[in-house]
Structure 1
């Protein structure tokens, strides 16, 4: 096993670095060096158009021709970025003789320094190296870290850099400073920067520095979990779930999504069901307030998007009324995700120029809907109603002018492993749903675009249609609509 590398961060501002090679790889290395403030000197017979542009702008120097050891004069580092093994070996040997650190791209044996994979958030940098032996592993880890570290880290690093001397004066002992930073980072400061509340963040920092710590109230993040596929969870949702002390989740949030949350968080199901046990909305409000007042970071995790039939607005009103800090992380709402996973475009130039999102779970809510508007053609209806009331829905739409032949798609468990799509026409909607025993969670898409599920489906099993014996019964005659 080779000896471990010694990690360091080099200050290359206004220092000369030689790059041997004028192709695409040399261009990438030069770009990184320019961002670090170095003075690149590129030696090569020819340059890429971008390198040539930098030369014309005076940002780099160009030495035309083949490598000569004299090119290393005055260089602090050298990068060999050619596809000629003999040239790369000559660069490495010349650098070794002059005690200049060299990186030979894709050749760890010839290199005396490696360029790590970098995660950068303002002045904060994380360098990842495999010692040159497994660069793809370092890149993979970098991608994972990119998803976990948001831009708030850049603001934190800039603040701590500006206030470094003040912090050292206030807390001269390292142990005191460590405890101070732990309190800052576990409190609301990162969240305030995430929410672009920079003035409040600075005020909170100063209060903590002065020893006037605010009360230890926690916070609540209202987070959309999407329709079920964990891959549709947003990065902000994943970060919130990994920071949470308590996660209050709906019944329909999938196990795949819940497994991505913080392992030692407290998970409390607060789901609602039309047929089984339900948690009252007032009880959910009480749980949010209880845990936030205890100083906990609470995630209220909702299926889909919290602001689309998710009562997210009601919960924010309660939090605001009681002085609890909050943030909202949108999710992919079921209409968008389930339709996409069924191969149904909600809008289509030839079929639908508008979309309406509708919910109706009981007779009273049915009576409040604008049926003449919902029955118009060339629009898509996305009905968040599961499988309840399909007969009443069909009758009202047909009575107000929607054609009985209008296609529909019922998407059961949309985006999940057991997704099922049932399609047919409006005339036979309730009978088809009963025949296939469609169960909640299910979303109804009604409109001409629903027929595209037959040809555009790509996820899970193909759609299933109405049974052969199903036929339209006598439906109410459509009413004439005023022009």
Structure 2
């Protein structure tokens, strides 16, 4: 991040601009939304700038900028649309201590102005660090469609109640109150008319002041295979409300970024056949934080109900009469099979699919390998890299075809996804050579769709 976004206090502050043409007009239309004292230097200003000056919306000096003109200014815009003049005025403003922006000159600017969605006092700023202004405008247009025009009025009324809401305890109690106002009570009152907002807000505050504190709760959330766009809306909401997030090793940073900044983040990562946090300690953390009244998200990779030791954690929470619920997620098998253009089941091929885990070797050894070795069977093997030779040996021992396709997908759904297409006979060797270091899922009985098509196509020379 080369440009750190902030919101600058503008009330009573000086903002100076040099220029009187189209570039100046574009900046001034935005700056006039602020409460700053605007000073413009332009020898030949556009008539619109003169009208704004006549309306006392800005101060216009009909001359070129001189040394000292930007003294005590917070910001300066060089908008003369002439490289030499822009460089001159920018140097003068920098000497006066102002932060300088040169229109359409990212390299020599100390700050940039983002695209802005204005629902005053709600302001959304969108920046691409100058790399893609067209993209920023497209995002702005999308947000403007999504954010109702009434949002500003809703927020202005809410702002007047900030001091009264301080009567609620810090933290979750206040967040629950404002969440109810902005997403439930406020919009309903707004639909009845703006005059209904203040009475509704007073009633809501009374309700929150007199009700019992919300008890601690645990949400067991499936974080999906790693792509944040594959999170469910319910998972996003749980992360937004969480006071504590207890997460697995395979949860990606992009998903962790979706949690509230104030949330306590606890890494309890387990690594197959390597260092790990004990299940007993994880259970104790869930109970400890939920009993303190926190809203806890137990964030598991994939789907929480698949090879996630979910039952042990639910039992620990339920034993202490703590409320809980499950938010399902996309399991790695679904994401990985989509990545190779296949389906887990197919008519006339297999009407069932087995989900196995290579982490539990005892349960692995007891599996019905003879049934899986039959033609056209499909299995999704989680955490199976280290057990590849074991899988191969068991299947061959029970008569599996050595040429049965096997596909290993590393980092399914993520930008660094890799696909290894091999066969049962070559699986251990090819896996070793691939040197996969990320989480991987092994499909027995499935090849990537392109490979399937290539194997079934008749060579042209055979048609001659």
Task: Please say whether Structure 1 and Structure 2 have the same fold, judged by a TM-score greater than 0.5.
Answer: yes
Q: Which residue among 272, 286, 289 is the counterpart of 1:288? A: 286
Taking the aligned partners of 1:427 and 1:451, their CA distance within structure 2 comes to 17
Distance 1:210 1:141 in 2: 31
Q: Name the residue aligned to 2:176.
A: 186
Residues 281/456 of structure 1: CA separation in 2 closer, same or farther (3 Å cut): farther
Secondary structure of the corresponding residue to residue 427 of structure 1: coil
Decide whether the 8 Å contact of 2:168 with 2:209 is kept in 1: no
State the Cα deviation string for residues 224-252 of structure 1 (Å, max 9, x = none).
Answer: 11111111111111111122111111011
CA deviations on 1:100-126 (whole Å, 9 max, x unpaired) are: xxxxxxxxxxxxxxxxx9xxxxxxxxx
Shift of 1:210: 10
Alpha carbons of structure 1 residues 250 and 345: separation in structure 2 relative to 1, 3 Å: same
Identify the match of residue 367 of structure 1 among 361, 365, 370.
365
In the alignment, structure 1 residue 452 sits paired with structure 2 residue 439:
no
Change (3 A) 1:433 1:137: closer
Matched, 1:414 2:416: no
Q: Aligned-pair distance for 1:395? A: 1.5
Mark the CA change 1:145 to 1:267 in structure 2 (over 3 Å): closer, same or farther: farther
TM-score of the pair, normalised by structure 2 = 0.55
Change (3 A) 1:227 1:177: closer
Give the whole-Å Cα distance in 1 for the aligned partners of 2:409 and 2:262. Answer: 34
1:328–1:210 distance in 2 versus 1, CA, 3 Å: closer
1:299 is aligned to 2:297: yes
For 1:252, the equivalent position in structure 2 comes to 250
After superposition, the C-alpha distances for 1:207-228 in whole angstroms (9 at most, x for unaligned) are: x959874465321111111111
CA 255–316 in structure 1, closer or farther in 2 if over 3 Å, else same: same
Question: Which of residues 424, 432, 436 in structure 2 aligns to 1:438?
Answer: 436
Q: Which of 329, 342, 347 is the aligned partner of 2:345?
A: 347
Please give the alpha-carbon distance, in whole angstroms, between the structure 2 residues aligned to 1:387 and 1:224.
23
Tell me the residue number matched to 2:314: 316
Q: CA RMSD in A?
A: 4.1
Pairwise CA distance, 1:421: 0.9
Aligned to 1:228: 226
Cα–Cα, structure 1 residues 254 and 143, in superposed 2: closer, same or farther, change >3 Å?
Answer: farther
The TM-score, its normalising length taken from structure 1, stands at 0.53
Which of these residues, 329, 332, 337, is aligned with residue 330 of structure 2? Answer: 332
When residues 234 and 412 of structure 1 are mapped into structure 2, their CA distance, relative to the original with a 3 A threshold, is same
Quick one: distance in 2 between partners of 1:429 and 1:354?
A: 23
CA contact (8 A) 2:358 2:384 kept: no
> Per-residue deviation at 1:414?
1.3
CA contact (8 A) 1:353 1:378 kept: no
Q: For the Cα contact (< 8 Å) 2:356–2:364, is it kept in 1?
A: no
Q: Measured at CA, do residues 245 and 371 of structure 1 come closer, stay the same or move farther in structure 2, by a change above 3 Å?
A: same
Pick from 355, 358, 374 the counterpart of residue 357 of structure 1.
355
| Distance of 2:145 and 2:354 partners within structure 1 | 37
In the alignment, is the contact (CA less than 8 A) between 1:387 and 1:439 conserved in 2? Answer: no
State the shift of 1:431 in Å: 1.5
The 3 A distance-change label for structure 1 pair 442 and 135 is: closer
Unpaired stretches in structure 1, ≥5 consecutive residues: 5-116, 118-126, 147-172, 195-204, 458-483
Distance 1:450 1:417 in 2: 21
* Residue 23 (structure 2) aligns with: none
- When the two structures are aligned, how many residues end up with a matched partner? 300
Superposed displacement of residue 407, structure 1: 0.2
Q: Could you tell me which residue of structure 1 aligns to residue 426 of structure 2?
A: 428
Question: What CA distance in whole angstroms lies between the structure 2 residues aligned with 1:418 and 1:230?
Answer: 14
Unaligned runs of 5+ in 2: 1-28, 34-116, 125-135, 149-160, 185-202, 455-464
Cα 1:210–1:241 shift into 2, 3 Å: closer
The 5-angstrom pairing of residues 29-108 of structure 1 reads none
Structure 1 residues 348-387: Cα deviation after superposition (integer angstroms, max 9, x where no partner): 3353332111113254222221222222332310001231
Is the 2:272–2:383 Cα contact (8 Å) retained in structure 1?
Answer: no
- 1:286 is displaced (CA, Å) by 0.8
* Aligned pair partner of 2:143 in 141, 144, 148: 141
- Cα pair distance change 1:453/1:256, threshold 3 Å: farther
Contact 2:224 2:329 in 1 (8 A): yes
User: Deviations for 1:394-434, whole angstroms, at most 9, x for unmatched residues?
Assistant: 11112223211110001111111221111111112111111
Q: 3-state SS of the aligned residue for 1:274?
A: coil
